[in-house]
Amino acid sequence: MQLSQTQRQADQALLQLGQRLQADGYRFTCVTPLTQARNNARPGAEQASTLRDIFGWNRPFEASLLSPDELEQLQRAGLVDREGKRLRSRVRWSSLDDALFVHSSFPTDSVDAVFFGPDTYRFARLIQAHLQDSTAPINHAVDIGCGAGVGAVLIARARRHAQVSAVDINDQALRMTAINVALAGLANVSVEHSDVLQGITGQFDLIVANPPYMLDARERAYRHGGGALGEQLSLRMVEEALPRLAPGGTLLLYTGVAMVEGRDPFLAALHKPLADTRWAWRYQELDPDVFGEQLLEPGYQQVERIAAVALSVSRR
């Protein structure tokens, strides 16, 4: 990904801000959009009074609440808006264990928004469990649709000898991933533009993906999965990833499924690509009910619930 000098300077300023927050012990657990909105609607939450309010809850703040160098870094990055007499950050910072990740401001309305939330934490736990339990060597890995780069960072930290690719179609996601990789102090991650795996070559010992799985009227890249009920991109990632697995390699896919009349249409669709005896696979429902507010949206009239699921496929 080629950046202009202005973009590089902006990203360097944002990295410096992240380093400052990290050094100051900043931590924030990112919540669902509904929980975020409800917290910010409470009396007394009209403006920020702490760094967590500014960069976590994303509330408007007085300039004096930030140190001069923090404010300068945010301004140099071009990521602060003025709202009357107050300012608002155009990014948020969230923590996962001891790592810090920059991602889009709230609400995530823009087409190129970079999402981070409870799905991210579930995806991370799936990857961490695999890395802890598996003895298979990982020399080459890829995080498809990397978003904020969480998958790539976790793999690269746990397997320092591995070469990890973080790929996405969203240039904003690639820029934020590059910042998060640098903030984690990693030298074994390459950040590349790719539509699923079409933009990179080779086989991989580990492929991870956390694709969008909603029907989104605006078709925002971080949210819209396509198909009848948001499943299309998840199926495409499975179909494109399987031929790219090295012998002994594993695909880990975390996604959501719109359940209809007690049936799991995503699981039913997986039986065809996974019918080959080369594949050993496991499918589990991690959370039976996520993003219930989505059921009020067009297209979900017959959906009972949305479940978070995980698919693990290994090549024999």
Which tens digits make up the pLDDT trace of 90-132?
A: 999 999 999 999 999 999 989 999 999 999 999 999 999 999 9
The pLDDT value given to residue 221: 84
Average pLDDT for residues 170-193, to the nearest whole number?
98
- Nearest CA to 96 out of 74, 117, 110 is that of 117
Average pLDDT for residues 26-36, to the nearest whole number?
97
The pLDDT value given to residue 242: 98
- The stretches of 117-221 forming alpha helices (DSSP H) are 118-133, 150-158, 171-183
The contacts of residue 107 (CB under 8 Å, 6+ apart) are 33, 36, 37
The pLDDT value given to residue 220: 87
Tokens in use for 191?
């950040």
Confidence of residue 2 (pLDDT cuts 50, 70, 90): confident
- Nearest CA to 158 out of 128, 125, 122, 135 is that of 128
- The stretches of 193-302 forming alpha helices (DSSP H) are 232-241, 265-270
The span from the CA of 74 to the CA of 70, in Å, is 6
Confidence of residue 268 (pLDDT cuts 50, 70, 90): very high
- Nearest CA to 192 out of 213, 224, 170 is that of 170
The pLDDT value given to residue 306: 98
Average pLDDT for residues 181-198, to the nearest whole number?
98
pLDDT digits (tens, 9 = 90+) for 150-159: 999 999 999 9
Task: Decide which of 306 and 221 is more confident.
Answer: 306
pLDDT at 3 over 90: no
Average pLDDT for residues 52-76, to the nearest whole number?
96
Tokens 């031929």 correspond to: 243
The pLDDT value given to residue 163: 98
pLDDT at 1 over 80: no
Yes or no: say if 163 and 170 are a contact pair by the CB < 8 Å rule.
no
> Domains (ranges, CATH) in the chain?
5-104 (no CATH), 118-315 (3.40.50.150)
pLDDT at 65 over 90: yes
The pLDDT value given to residue 222: 87
pLDDT at 22 over 80: yes
Average pLDDT for residues 4-32, to the nearest whole number?
95
The pLDDT value given to residue 30: 98
Q: Pairing state of beta strands 303-315 and 279-287?
A: antiparallel
Confidence of residue 259 (pLDDT cuts 50, 70, 90): very high
Yes or no: say if 181 and 156 are a contact pair by the CB < 8 Å rule.
yes
Average pLDDT for residues 72-89, to the nearest whole number?
96
pLDDT at 271 over 80: yes
User: Quick one: CA torsion of 244, 119, 298, 229, rounded to 10 degrees?
Assistant: 30
CA distances from 197 to 1, 121, 311 (A): 16, 24, 18
Confidence of residue 84 (pLDDT cuts 50, 70, 90): very high
Q: Pairing state of beta strands 279-287 and 86-89?
A: unpaired
The pLDDT value given to residue 165: 98
**Vertex 80 angle, CA 74 and 84, to 5°:** 140
DSSP 8-state class, residue 26: -
Query: Maximum Cα–Cα distance for the chain, whole Å?
Result: 64
